[in-house]
Amino acid sequence: MKNTRWEDKRVIVTGGASFIGSHLVDRLVTIGAKVTVIDNFSSGTLENLSQSQHKINIINMDLEWCNLTEVVNAFKDHEIVFHLAATHGGRGYINTHPADVSSNFAIDHHVFEASLKTNIEKVISASSACAYPTKLQDTTDSNYLLREEDSNPFKLNEPLSADIEYGWAKLIGEIQLIAFIKQYGLKGCSLRFVTAYGPRENETHAIIALIYKALEKMDPYHIWGTGEQDRDFTYVSDIVEGTVLAAEKVTDGTPINLGTGIRYKLKDVAAKVFDLMGWKPKKTVFDTSKPVGVATRALDISRAKKLLNWEPKISLEEGLQKTINWYTKTHARKGYVDEKVLMERLIT
């Protein structure tokens, strides 16, 4: 449904061909915005954009290796930038590509610089729960909810810490955005997404990997880690709704958590996937040789409730069902699990 605030608003979505980006594009088109996607299609696909493709402008551009004039020309005459382009993947990918994810430092800088040069009204930038110190997330069965102050990009004289190179790049991206706000009056904010899932995500991410292995009837079924690690799984439509609200309401660089505040252990998510798919392996193996990240992670979402009047709406069961429906409709069973697909963002 069109929304007067967004009708004919000229917006850019960097990384708009991505999993989250493409859902954001669909939503923006529905509410009446005029959308330009900028993406280099390194992990995003045109297929992700099939619902909106005929209504949007698509620019194939590499935001790491572009020159400023090129980005400025693409940004010109737009009002809002949703910045989601990033070298990114699930835990297996980010752990094994520390140099590649460092390209995010450059991508972010180019986007902020071009936004400034083209008088963009607001930049809403995708950050991550990886911007939090891992030492707050190392105890299994913790009930601690990460608060934005635990990684405060405004307090640069206090110690900061983040989760590997990818998390540092996200945290520095937040700091860069605030620097442009402080020095030049740019407006916007960063949103800390946490383990988003839903249709169009790839198998390097936990939930899609669990569904992929169940579709292939992997038996013994492999779960990375002990299965005791927990995460705050957030359905993509909730992330998209929070992102649009942030563009309406926040200007001062404040980072905002978008999660659910609820944690599920990986072994319990796998059990739900088996139930919903009507199949169960005879044997499950917990593969502790694989990268799994922190022991526990869930976000305090009181700031999002207060500033955005936002709350997640989709339960894990509902989100899993929608994701399984999509995955089984769009992926044929091959009869084996390709380990590379779990690490490398291959298009299946």
User: Which of 13, 17, 244, 341 is in the footprint of ligand NAD by CB under 6 A?
Assistant: 17
Q: What share of the chain is helix, strand, coil (3-state, %, to 5)?
A: 40, 15, 40
Least distance from ligand NAD to the Cβ atom of residue 85, Å: 4
- If one asks whether residue 51 binds ligand NAD (CB under 6 A), the answer comes out as no
Task: Pick the piece of the chain touching ligand NAD (CB under 6 A) from 40-48, 144-152, 221-229, 272-280.
Answer: 40-48
235-294 positions binding ligand NAD, by CB under 6 A: none
Nearer to ligand NAD, 118 or 128 (CB): 128
CB of 81 to ligand NAD, least distance (A): 13
Q: How far is the CB of 29 from ligand NAD (least distance, A)?
A: 17
Which H/E stretch holds residue 318?
helix 316-330
- Could you give the C-alpha distances from 84 to 25, 121, 143, 282, 300, in angstroms and in order? 11, 17, 29, 40, 22
Residue 21 makes contact with ligand NAD by CB under 6 A: yes
Q: How far is the CB of 7 from ligand NAD (least distance, A)?
A: 25
Evaluate whether 295 touches 228 at the Cβ level (below 8 Å): yes
- Please choose, out of 4-12, 189-197, 223-231, 307-315, the segment that lies near ligand NAD by the rule CB under 6 A: 189-197
Out of 36, 40, 237, 296, the only residue in the binding site for ligand NAD (CB under 6 A) is 40
* Upstream peptide bond of 312 is cis (omega within 30 degrees of 0): no
Report whether 110 contacts 40 (CB < 8 A). no
Buried b (16+ CB within 10 A) or exposed e, 55-67: ebebbebbbbebe
Nearest distance, CB of residue 218 and ligand NAD, angstroms: 23
Contact predicate 161/133, CB 8 Å: yes
Please tell me the distance from the alpha carbon of residue 232 to that of residue 301, in angstroms, as a whole number: 11
Note whether 87 binds ligand NAD by CB under 6 A.
yes
Nearer to ligand NAD, 133 or 280 (CB): 133
39 makes contact with ligand NAD (CB under 6 A): yes
In this structure, the chain runs to a length of 348
Backbone angles phi, psi at 188, to 5 degrees: 150, -165
d(CA 148, CA 252): 14
Name the site residues for ligand NAD (rule: CB under 6 A): 15, 17-21, 39-44, 62-64, 84-88, 107, 126, 128, 193, 195-196
